[in-house]
């Protein structure tokens, strides 16, 4: 199963049906394509409440195994000033990343050049902070709307190593860890998977242990 989240104010985005068909054809896997339209949420008053509910909706998908999340930057139908577009979208990406660091994340827009020109050039006082947020959110690429379908297809065929492990943990969710002395000894993969997915403190410990086991499988560390 390949799960893809699309956050876009088109209902539905024009590329969704062909995207699902093409990925299923090329990967021979079923595709669960989840579309969240932010418009109803961002018309809620007060605006902060609507954004909070939208973030919760995004996170309800992020807690699942998710291969790819793609966020439209230009939420033109929500009645917000264009200069707020990237800021709002970054908040949604950050909400997603709180729960899921295994998925690949893309930002896209049909007016990408204009939005980036404003946020990263004209709005100079916020440029440094915006760039830091982009890097911390581990955004793989900024794409035009015409590119997003192709890039999602490529990414679906080349999952990140964190996502590969995420899927293995999910497939073997009933198995138990037997790492004596560790915080996760005796726990099932099902109990650990969300920590791994969000890369919280325990998730980082699991990741480090997997890396150590991988290295030990190649090199005899006791020589």
Q: How far is CA 178 from CA 62, 129, 188, 189, 194, in A?
A: 28, 43, 10, 11, 18
Q: How does strand 68-72 pair with strand 31-36? A: unpaired
Confidence class of residue 131 from pLDDT cuts 50, 70 and 90? confident
Dihedrals phi, psi of 35, to nearest 5 degrees? -110, 125
Question: Is the predicted pLDDT of residue 132 greater than 80, yes or no?
Answer: yes
Tell me which residue of 96, 101, 134, 136 sits closest to 115, measured CA to CA: 134
Q: What does the alpha-carbon distance between residue 140 and residue 49 come to, in Å, rounded to a whole number?
A: 29
Cα separation, 37 vs 123, whole angstroms: 27
| Total Cβ atoms within 10 A of residue 185 | 11
Q: Residues 12, 104, 213, CA angle at the centre, nearest 5°? A: 150
Higher pLDDT, 185 or 161: 161
User: 2-157 adopts what CATH topology?
Assistant: Rossmann fold (3.40.50)
**What CA–CA distance (Å, rounded) separates 173 from 30?**
20
Per-residue pLDDT at 154? 93
**pLDDT score, position 142:** 87
Quick one: pLDDT at residue 88? 87
pTM of the complete model: 0.86
Q: How confident is the model at residue 77 (pLDDT cuts 50, 70, 90)?
A: low
92 falls in which pLDDT band (50, 70, 90)?
A: very high
Query: What is the strand order of the sheet 104-109 is part of?
Result: 31-36, 2-7, 68-72, 104-109, 139-144
Whole-number pLDDT of residue 96: 97
Does residue 116 have a pLDDT over 90? no
Per-residue CA distances from 106 to 27, 140, 174 (Å): 20, 6, 32
Higher pLDDT, 214 or 16: 16
Instruction: Label the pairing between strands 139-144 and 104-109.
Output: parallel
Q: Residue 182: helix, strand or coil by DSSP? A: coil
Sign, Cα dihedral of 143, 146, 149, 151: negative
Residue 215, both tokens: 């290295």
Instruction: Rounding to the nearest 10 degrees, give the CA dihedral for residues 80, 141, 145, 35.
Output: -70
Rounded distance between C-alpha atoms, residue 46 and residue 7, angstroms: 21
**In the chain, ranges of CATH 3.40.50.2300 domains:** 2-157
Taking only the tens place, the pLDDT of each residue in 6-55 is 999 988 888 888 999 999 998 899 999 999 999 999 888 898 999 999 99
Helices (H) and strands (E) in the chain, counts: 10, 5
């Amino acid at each position: 199963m390949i799960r893809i989240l699309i956050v876009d104010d088109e209902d539905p985005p024009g590329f969704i049906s062909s995207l699902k068909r093409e990925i299923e054809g090329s990967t021979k896997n079923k595709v669960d394509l989840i579309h969240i339209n932010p418009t109803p949420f961002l018309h809620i008053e007060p605006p902060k409440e609507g954004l909070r509910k939208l973030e919760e909706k995004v996170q309800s998908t992020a807690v699942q195994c998710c291969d790819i999340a793609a966020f439209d930057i230009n939420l033109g139908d929500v009645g917000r000033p264009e200069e707020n577009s990237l800021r709002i979208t970054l908040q949604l990406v950050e909400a997603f990343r709180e729960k899921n660091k295994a998925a690949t994340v893309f930002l896209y827009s049909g007016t990408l050049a204009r939005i980036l020109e404003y946020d990263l050039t004209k709005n100079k006082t916020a440029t440094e902070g915006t760039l830091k947020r982009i890097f911390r959110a581990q955004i793989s690429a900024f794409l035009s709307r015409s590119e997003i379908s192709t890039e999602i297809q490529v990414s679906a065929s080349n999952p990140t190593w964190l996502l590969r492990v995420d899927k293995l943990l999910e497939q073997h969710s009933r198995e138990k860890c037997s790492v004596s002395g560790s915080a996760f000894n005796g726990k099932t993969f099902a109990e650990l998977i969300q920590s791994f997915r969000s890369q919280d403190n325990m998730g980082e410990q699991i990741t480090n242990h997997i890396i150590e086991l991988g290295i030990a499988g190649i090199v005899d560390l006791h020589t």
